[in-house]
Amino acid sequence: MSLERALELAERGRGTTRPNPVVGAAVVRNGEIVGEGWHERKGEPHAEVIALGAAGERARGATLFVTMEPCAHHGTTPPCTEAVLAAGVAKVVAGSLDPNPEAGGGLEVLCRAGVEVEHADSFAARAQNEAWRTWVAAKRPFVVLKLGLTLDGRVAIPGSRWITGEQSRRRVHELRAHTDAVAVGMGTVRADHPQLTARGVDAVKQPRRLAFGRGPLPLGVRLELRSGALADELAALAEEGVQSLLLEGGPTLAESFLREDLVDKVLLFVAPTIASSGPPFAPELVAPVQLRRFTSEQVGDDLLLSGYVHEP
């Protein structure tokens, strides 16, 4: 399917489009792809413009598949809606809407101009830009809560350094390498003196490393202390360009974020151990938290359970 091709193309921009989202586009005529494109860098052409350019005259009367609706604004580049109209495209199929209040509304503009439009809402298209969508719409980072748990829901096993296996720990370093900031609470700071760096993996850049709570930080702990109200700190981080935040515990910090409805996605690394003792993950919440799109994956000897509190 051509939307799937557009999703693939979008991924080619992963890592270079910041602060922009990844977007892919394919122009289809008589069931054949005649132009492809993806957004590569802010300030450079958007995906649609590249795909339409590649298609040339063949775009006239064709269908444009794009992972996110064409923008309707003058940003660092002219509106894609104008490029779509100029190319004479007959139909536009978009996998998601643009949540950016300044750029969104492109499908509507095109519809009014007489182009056939279809919003083929795709979870994959939204998930592809999950951090960016939250950052641009809610003006706070997309918050991922990661916890390592025993089968009986403990966050630590007395007398043992690790809960989860080596592959899960490696996976956590990969997560760190792909997030803008990593944070822990003061309990974890005092107990573990964590570095929170991405180690043993290809990290293009290290995440910002934060501690939420009242200071002081123990000597030798090199984390940024953020002592304000959580919502205020998240707003400030978003202003500084932090689109994604990984919470690495402990249970008190997790509870605070969950109580304020500031967690978007949960990743639970569950180890095949019944610990019988040790601190539990038992947050006291105002109301039960329901996860959506709940899935599981084997990671070494552990299971990674993941789901969304807020779908992107």
Active-site residue 284, yes or no? Answer: no
Listed in order, strand segments (DSSP E) in the chain are 24-29, 32-38, 63-66, 91-94, 116-119, 142-149, 181-185, 208-212, 224-226, 244-247, 265-270, 292-299, 302-308
The reply on whether position 77 binds ligand AOF by CB under 6 A is: yes
Stretch touching ligand AOF by CB under 6 A, among 73-81, 172-180, 195-203, 290-298: 73-81
Indicate the residue type of 130. Answer: E
Which residue in the set 6, 7, 26, 80 belongs to the binding site for ligand AOF (CB under 6 A)? 80
Structure tokens at 44: 């450079």
Measured between alpha carbons, how far is residue 279 from residues 55, 155, 158, 169 in Å? 60, 6, 9, 20
Among residues 199, 295, 187, the alpha carbon closest in space to that of 248 is found at: 187
Which residues make up the interface to Zn ion (CB under 5 A)?
46, 71, 80
Which residue in the set 3, 9, 21, 156 belongs to the binding site for ligand AOF (CB under 6 A)? 21
Helical residues (DSSP H) of the chain, grouped into ranges: 2-11, 47-55, 80-87, 106-112, 123-128, 130-138, 166-177, 186-192, 230-239, 251-259
The reply on whether position 133 binds ligand AOF by CB under 6 A is: no
Minimum distance from residue 100 beta carbon to ligand AOF (Å): 3
Closest to ligand AOF by CB, 48 or 302? 48
- Please say whether the beta carbons of 191 and 178 come within 8 A: no
Count interface residues toward ligand AOF (CB under 6 A). Answer: 17
Minimum distance from residue 231 beta carbon to ligand AOF (Å): 23
Closest to ligand AOF by CB, 66 or 246? 66
The edge-to-edge listing of strands for the beta sheet with 63-66 is 32-38, 24-29, 63-66, 91-94, 116-119
47, interface contact from ligand AOF, Zn ion, none, CB < 5-8 Å by kind: ligand AOF
Stretch touching ligand AOF by CB under 6 A, among 15-23, 145-153, 226-234, 275-283: 15-23
Which residue in the set 16, 76, 276, 296 belongs to the binding site for ligand AOF (CB under 6 A)? 76
Catalytic: which of 48, 130, 233, 248?
48
Residue ranges in contact with ligand AOF by CB under 6 A: 20-21, 23, 39, 42, 46-48, 70-71, 75-77, 80, 98, 100, 103
